[in-house]
Homo-oligomer: A and B are copies of this chain.
Amino acid sequence: MKIYPVQMNIVPGKPELNFETLKKEVEKAVLNQCDLVVFPEMCLSGYLIGDLWEEHSFIDQCVEYGNRVANLSASIDILFGNVAREEIHGENGRPLLYNAAFYASNGCFEPLVQCNGVIKSFLPKTLLPCYREFDEPRYFFDLRRLAYSLNQPLEALLKPYTRKDGIQIGISICEDAWDSIYQIKPVSILASQMNENGFMINISCSPFTLGKSDARHRVFGAHARNHKIPLLYLNSVGTQNNGKNIYAFEGDSCIYDAQGKTIYEYPKFEAYSTVIEYEKKQIRFFEDSKPQLTGMAEIRRALVYMLSENLRRLGIERVVIGASGGIDSAVSAVLYTEALGADRVFLVNMPTRFNSKTTRNAAKDLANNLGCPYLEAPITDTIDVFCRGLSSLSFERSSVSLKVEGIHYENLQARTRSATFLATIASVLNAAFTCNGNKSEVMTGYCTLYGDTCGIVCALGDLWKTQVYELAREINKEREIIPEASILIPASAELSDAQNVDEGKGDPIVYAYHDKLFSFWMERWNRNSLGDSIMALKDGSLYEKLSISKDFFDSLFKSHEDAIADMKYWWGRYKGIALAKRIQLPPVLCVSCRAFGSDLRESQI
């Protein structure tokens, strides 16, 4: 039996486009004399489409294109994921929807659920994720609740599909196989009902996070090994978003043999399809896997992939980047250049008297290294005219002074750079401008609202500052693209004399320590609080929990009281002013296991 699994680039919310992709791939599969072509979960609708699931005419479209897929199955079987609708109302008062798998053969959908007189031409997903960016129960009914409502055990509904040639396929959808936190194990239920001749398929639409491949090999390999059945994992590629968060779908589809070994891996971040063959509990493949990227190289690829896919879809062909000579804007410039090409990335350095020659030269060197258009635009004249004008005015009915100095003058510089210079230059060039903030800044609000928080997308917003440095070193591995000065000077906003990099002055955050503390607070699955970190400090477990040495910690603080005061300060910012800024932040490219945005839902308290 020849199978053609299609690692497809799904365009969210565009069933008409996805249908065209799917149709071409079916034709290729037929040309290759395959018996079955497989597409990922939700391959017509897309997955992260927000409340578009509530638009009934969109569902009409998805159902209609699903029927057209069935029409393509005259000479080949087609297994694919789509939304299924039933004309009875669900608990939100709208027609009942399922995230489902369909199996089309001879122009018709095969019945995949048959139980007690109830027949369904699709198999609903059993486990619906409802955490982080996932909101499936908001939109979908599931096989478990269907079983309850029919008063039947799940086993009576969740069965492998048996083809006419006797080969059985155990079909699961994404989360169904990630069952470790669930009491119900859909893959085991399927496997326990399979005979000697068959294999399992998991169709997914599963976003990238760093380290996911290893976790998946463990979980999916164990399924295959435990049940001694080969398993095909088919994921999609492309980018999808839920407004505040942009995700890459990395593909990385895999074949696990009946011993649980990963025997074939599709390339990541690339639409791809190939012929494989199933015979007697063996899946064969006809080409070697390409080597896969890992670590920072993989993150770099993921970020560039998200940028290029996303900017293309938004119709943005040029970007303007404020290049300060610091590390964040340098790394951003490299990523955008890789996504768009150097001639479409406009670097603008906007000095005041607080900006050192060191950083100004670094910005210029960066532009030269990349070959990007470069502009030095001093902002002082504009600021001076504004401040002079304002200080000469006074309110009627109030005697407040309008003199701009200190922190007010610092933030004005940041806002003038973004909202006046970058925004206007971008506007004139028919371009967008970028937000270069990192996760440490987003976490602490160490940034100026309507200043450096502005931009079309925040490319580094899910990387701690320490990771941005790692990424810079990865970028410079072969040759110096990012000027060494940007890596070596202290991180600094250069908004006042107190932040003079040539005197070794800079940000108030000790990233090597604070990034780990911040991760302890916001990234752990069982999230920790200020109290948890104080308690860990007191009972001596903090060093291990943050993976830092006691010596390093002791070099930072005079006493535990100092350290606790510091924790309290940053915790207050994280939950207070920083959140107020995050609410207005641009979308973040996600790579971690917890990003700010819809991934971490926050209330102002």
**Chain A residues engaging chain B, CB cutoff 8 angstroms:** 12-14, 46, 48-52, 54-58, 89, 91-94, 127, 130-131, 135, 137-138, 148, 180-183, 240-244, 313-314, 343, 346, 367, 371-378, 381-382, 385-386, 389-390, 393-398, 400-404, 407-408, 411-412, 415-416, 418-421, 423-425, 427-429, 449-451, 454, 456, 525-529, 531-532, 579-580, 582-587, 598, 600-605
CB atoms of B374 and A396 under 8 A apart: yes
Q: How far is the CA of A76 from the CA of B415 in the complex (A)?
A: 58
CB atoms of B346 and A395 under 8 A apart: yes
CB atoms of B404 and A415 under 8 A apart: no
* A19 → B minimal CB distance (Å): 16
CB atoms of A243 and B602 under 8 A apart: yes
Q: How far is the CA of A498 from the CA of B122 in the complex (A)?
A: 57
Answer whether A603 and B412 are a contact pair too, CB < 8 Å, given A390-B421, A396-B367: no
Answer whether A91 and B182 are a contact pair too, CB < 8 Å, given A415-B419, A527-B54: yes
CB atoms of A419 and B243 under 8 A apart: no
* CB-based nearest B residue for A419: B419
CB atoms of A50 and B415 under 8 A apart: no
Task: Pick from B46, B93, B429, B449: contact of A181, CB below 8 A.
Answer: B93
CB atoms of A428 and B408 under 8 A apart: yes
Q: How far is the CA of A56 from the CA of B601 in the complex (A)?
A: 16
* CB-based nearest B residue for A521: B55
- Chain B residues lying within 8 Å of A48, measured Cβ to Cβ, are 603
CB atoms of B424 and A390 under 8 A apart: yes
Q: How far is the CA of A447 from the CA of B180 in the complex (A)?
A: 48
Q: Which 6 A-B pairs have the closest CB atoms?
A: A419-B419, A373-B398, A13-B605, A50-B601, A93-B181, A373-B395
CB atoms of A51 and B527 under 8 A apart: yes
CB atoms of B603 and A13 under 8 A apart: yes
Q: How far is the CA of A449 from the CA of B58 in the complex (A)?
A: 29
Q: How far is the CA of A451 from the CA of B137 in the complex (A)?
A: 38
CB atoms of A601 and B425 under 8 A apart: no
With most chain B CB atoms within 10 A of its CB, the pick from A393, A403, A601 is A601
- Chain B residues lying within 8 Å of A393, measured Cβ to Cβ, are 375-377
CB atoms of B419 and A93 under 8 A apart: no
CB atoms of B526 and A56 under 8 A apart: yes
- Chain B residues lying within 8 Å of A403, measured Cβ to Cβ, are 428
Identify 21 residue pairs between A and B in the complex whose beta-carbon atoms are under 8 Å apart, listed by A's number: A49-B603, A56-B526, A57-B531, A57-B532, A135-B601, A243-B583, A313-B604, A367-B396, A371-B397, A373-B397, A376-B393, A381-B386, A390-B424, A400-B429, A412-B427, A416-B420, A419-B419, A419-B420, A423-B450, A584-B585, A598-B601
CB atoms of A12 and B603 under 8 A apart: yes
CB atoms of A57 and B529 under 8 A apart: yes
Answer whether A181 and B91 are a contact pair too, CB < 8 Å, given A375-B393, A393-B377, A529-B55: yes
CB atoms of B51 and A601 under 8 A apart: yes
Q: How far is the CA of A242 from the CA of B400 in the complex (A)?
A: 35
- Chain B residues lying within 8 Å of A182, measured Cβ to Cβ, are 91
Answer whether A58 and B367 are a contact pair too, CB < 8 Å, given A243-B583, A343-B398: no
- Chain B residues lying within 8 Å of A421, measured Cβ to Cβ, are 386, 390
Q: How far is the CA of A233 from the CA of B580 in the complex (A)?
A: 34
CB atoms of B428 and A580 under 8 A apart: no
Query: Other CB < 8 Å A-B pairs besides A93-B181, A243-B582, 14 of them?
Result: A12-B603, A51-B527, A91-B182, A243-B583, A343-B397, A346-B395, A371-B397, A375-B396, A382-B385, A390-B424, A408-B428, A415-B423, A415-B424, A420-B420
Task: Pick from B137, B404, B527, B583: contact of A587, CB below 8 A.
Answer: B583
Q: How far is the CA of A450 from the CA of B394 in the complex (A)?
A: 25
With most chain B CB atoms within 10 A of its CB, the pick from A396, A415, A419 is A419
CB atoms of A427 and B450 under 8 A apart: no
CB atoms of A527 and B89 under 8 A apart: no
CB atoms of A527 and B398 under 8 A apart: no
- Chain B residues lying within 8 Å of A12, measured Cβ to Cβ, are 603, 605
Answer whether A580 and B423 are a contact pair too, CB < 8 Å, given A91-B182, A381-B385, A529-B55: no
- Chain B residues lying within 8 Å of A586, measured Cβ to Cβ, are 583-584
Q: How far is the CA of A64 from the CA of B50 in the complex (A)?
A: 37
CB atoms of A386 and B605 under 8 A apart: no
- Chain B residues lying within 8 Å of A55, measured Cβ to Cβ, are 527-529
- Chain B residues lying within 8 Å of A386, measured Cβ to Cβ, are 381-382, 420-421, 424
